[in-house]
Amino acid sequence: MRRFVWALVAYCGLVLGGLQNPQANVPSDELYAFSELESVLAVTTPALEQRLIEDAKDGVFDQHTLAQAALIASGLSDPQQVSEHHTQVQNLSRRAQSALKHLPAVEQAAGLLRWLHEYALTTYAAEQSLLPKVLDSGVYNCVSVTVLYNSIGQTLGLRLRAVETEKHVFSKLLMANQAYDIETTTQYGFDPSVDAINQFEAKTGFKHIGSEQVEQTRVVGDVGLVALIYFNRALAAVEADNTRLSLHLFAKALWFDPELTQARASFMSLISVQAAQWLQAKQFTRALDLLTFGLKLEPAHKTMRYNWVAGWTNWALFEAEHAEPEKALIRIQKAYKITQDARLIELQAQIFMRHALVLAEQGDWADGMALMNDNRAKLLPESVPFLDVWRVDYLLQWLADHLTKQDYPAAYDVAKQILLLDQENTYVHQNMRFLLQEWSREQFQAAGPLVAEQLLTRVIQAHQDHAGLVETAQNYVYWAVEKFSKAQQFEQAIALIGRQKDRLEGPIYTRLLSAQYHQWSEQLLQTKAWQQAIQAYQAAQAQLPGTEAFVTNEKYAWDQWGKARLKDKAYQGAAMVYQQALQRYPEDAVFQQNLRYCQAFLH
C-alpha cells in the first residue's frame, strides 16, 4: 500500500501553536471553495453536510449541536441515521444528568468522565475517531471521546473546549477563575494526577502535555473539534489509497479550521501527488486544475509550482507529438505565457520541424518546408531563431536527398534556399562544390562540354563570393581533358582548354595545353600522319609561342616525313617535304643537306 511521509502523524495528532481563543478557527469559504475542488475531483457533498458547512460559516454551530455536527462529519449522510445516533447521545445525556445533577460543576465534570468510561466506553483504539462507532461499540480514541464528553458536558451546562497538541486532543473545563485539563481517554483524567498521567501515557503511547504549556497547545471550539474528525478521516483515506476522498476530506477539515497546519501540509502534498499521477496518465486538464486550486491556497509551494510548470510543459510536449501543429502551437504558447518555461520557446519551433520531417519521410519535402515557412510568423519572436536554424538543417537534409538521387537541378534550387537563410553555412558551401562537380560532369556526358561549361559559368556568376566554385571549375577542366585524352580526342581537349583559359592559372594552362599537344602529336607520329603531326606542332607554337620543344619536335616530324619518302625511293616527294620544311626553317642545315641528297637522285 502506498504511504506518504507526511501521513506519519497519529490519528489524533494535531498542530503546534499557542492560540487560546476557542473562536479563532473561523472557516474560510474563500480559500477552500468546495465547488472548485469538487469539480476537479468529480465528487459532491451530501445535502446534510452542505447545511452543516453553511451553519459553521461564522465559526460556531447555530443550527447543529456538537454531536449532530460530529455525526455528519463522521460520514453519516442519511438524516434518519443522524437522528437515531443523536438520540443515543441525548439518552446518554439524560442518564448522566440524572446521575450527576446534584454535584457542583467541577465535580460534575470529573464525574462525567468516570461515568462515560464506566457506562459508554469500552476500548481505546488510536484510529477510531468516528462518533457513531463510539455510540455503537464503545470503541474510541482521543478525538471521538472528547467529542462525546464535550457534547454531553455541554448539556450539563459545563463550559468545555478542546485542546490540541502535536499528536493528541483532550478537553478543558473553563471556570470563572480556573481551568482544568481533562484527559478524556482515561477514567481519572480530570485534572490528572501523576498516576492518571501515567495511565494515559501507557494507554495511548503519547506523552502528556498540559494546557499550561501554551507553546505546544491550541484551544479550539466545537467547529475546530469537528475539523479533527475530517482530518483523521482524510488520513484513513490516504492509508486506503483513496486519494480523491482524502483530498475532499482534507479540504473540509481546513474549511472548518484553516489553522490546522498538519492538515494543510498533508493536503498540499497530496494535491501534488494526485496531480503528478494524473499528469502521468495524460489527464492534463484535471491535473492542472487541481494544481491551480492548490496554488491559490499556497502560491509559494515549491513542489506544487514545479509540478504545475511541468504539467503545462508536458501537456505542450504531448500536444506537439500527437496533435496537429497549429493546435499544438496554441497549447504551447499558452503554456509559455503561464509558466515562462524557457524550454517551450524552442518547442514552439520544434513542432513544425517535427511535422515537416514526417512529411519529408513521405517524400513531401516541399510541403514540409512550406509548413515551416507559412507558420514562422505565428511564432513568438524569441522562437523564430530556433525555427530558422531548423529550416536550414531541414534544407540540408533535403539537399542530401536530391544529391543521393542525383537530381542536381533540384539540389541546386534547395542549395540556393539555404544560402538565402545562411550565407556562411559551411555545409552548403561544401555541398555546392560537390553538386557543381557532379552536375557539370553529368551535363558533359549527356549534352556535351559546351552545355557543361555554360552551367559552370552560370553558377559561378550567381555565387561570385564562393571561391570554392572556381576551384571546382578548374577540377572540371582536368577531369574533362583527361576524359578526352583517354579517348584520344585531343582536339576536343585542346579546344576545351582554350575555352577555359581564364579559369586556369598561367603555368597550369601552359602545362595542360602543352601536354595535350605533345600527346596528340606523338599519337600522329606513331600512325605516320606526318602532315597532321606537323600541323599540331605548328598550332602548339601559335598558342604557346617560344616553346622550344615544339620547334624541335616539328623539325623532327619534317625529317621523319622526308625520310619515310626516301625509304620508299619517292625522291620527288621527299624533295617536296624538305622544300616545305625549308620554307619554315630556311637556315636549317639538315633540311638543306637532305634536299640536296634527294635532288641528286632526280638528276
Q: pTM of this prediction?
A: 0.63
Composition of the chain by helix, strand, coil, percent to 5 = 70, 5, 25
| Start-to-end C-alpha separation, the chain | 132
In a shared domain, residues 144 and 206: yes
pLDDT of residue 286: 94
Taking the C-alpha atoms of residue 494 and residue 540, their distance in angstroms, rounded to an integer, is 10
Q: Is the pLDDT of residue 6 over 50?
A: no
CA distance 362 to 27: 62
The percentage of residues in the chain with a pLDDT greater than 70, rounded to a whole number, is: 93
Is the residue at 249 inside a domain?
A: yes
Q: Is residue 410 assigned to a domain?
A: no
Same domain, 272 and 322: no
The answer to whether residue 533 scores a pLDDT higher than 50 is yes
Distance CA 382, CA 398 (A): 26
Tens digits of per-residue pLDDT, 190-244? 988 877 678 877 777 777 776 667 577 889 999 999 999 999 999 999 999 999 9
| Angle at CA of residue 113, ends 110 and 118, nearest 5° | 130
Q: Check whether residue 293 and residue 269 sit in a common domain.
A: no
**Is position 434 within any domain?**
no
Same domain? 225 vs 316: no
Over residues 1-17, the mean pLDDT reads: 31
pLDDT of residue 601 exceeding 90, the answer is no
My answer on whether 359 and 230 are in the same domain is no
Residue range of the domain that includes 581: 523-603
Domain check: are 285 and 361 in the same one?
Answer: yes
Mean pLDDT, residues 383-388: 94
Within a domain: 496: no
**Residue 328 placed within a domain:** yes
How many structural domains are present in the chain? Answer: 3
Instruction: Indicate whether 179 and 73 sit together in one domain.
Output: yes
- Spell 568-583 as b/e; 16+ CB within 10 A means b: eeebeebbebbeebbe
Output the domain CATH number for residue 553.
Answer: 1.25.40
> What is the helix (H) or strand (E) element at residue 179, kind and residue range?
strand 179-182
Range 437-465 average pLDDT: 96
Q: What is the pLDDT of residues 36-59, one digit of tens each?
A: 888 899 999 999 999 999 999 889
Task: Choose the final residue of a domain: 276, 310, 329.
Answer: 276
**Residue 525, pLDDT above cutoff 50:** yes
Residues 182 and 319 placed together within one structural domain of the fold = no
48 plus 164 within the same structural domain? yes
Q: Which of 358, 374, 390 is the last residue of a domain?
A: 390
Output 323 or 67, whichever has higher pLDDT: 67
Distance, in Å, from the CA atom of 245 to the CA atom of 267, rounded to the nearest integer, reads 11
C-alpha cell at 566: 626516301
pLDDT at 302: 87
Mean pLDDT of the chain: 89
For residue 600, CA distances in Å to 255, 535, 558, 563, 565 come to 140, 29, 20, 15, 15
- The Cα–Cα gap between 134 and 136 comes to 6
Number of Cβ within a 10 Å radius of residue 536: 28
Give the pLDDT confidence score for residue 563 in this predicted structure.
Answer: 94
In contact, 438 and 479? CB cutoff 8 Å: no
| pLDDT tens by residue, 423-432 | 889 999 999 9
Domain-embedded: residue 491: no
For residues 188 and 237, state if they share a domain: yes
Which segments of 192-329 are extended strands (E)? 218-220
Q: How far apart are CA 321 and CA 327, in angstroms?
A: 11
Is pLDDT of 8 > 60? no
Q: Which of 119-128, 315-324, 368-377, 415-424 has the lowest mean pLDDT?
A: 315-324
- Tell me, what amino acid is at 453? E
Q: Considering 332, 364, 390, which residue would you say is the last residue of a domain?
A: 390
Residue 265: pLDDT band (50, 70, 90) is confident
Q: What pLDDT shows up at residue 510? A: 94
Cross-strand pairs, 219 = 163
Q: Does 502 reside within a domain?
A: no
Find the range with the poorest average confidence among 143-147, 320-324, 462-466, 540-544: 320-324
- How confident is the model at residue 212, as a pLDDT? 67
Q: Which pLDDT score is estimated for 15? A: 27
User: Is 507 a member of any domain?
Assistant: no
Is the domain of 267 the same as that of 300? Answer: no
The answer to whether 325 and 375 are in contact (CB under 8 A) is: yes
Same domain, 175 and 311: no
Alpha-carbon gap, residue 153 to 149, rounded angstroms = 6
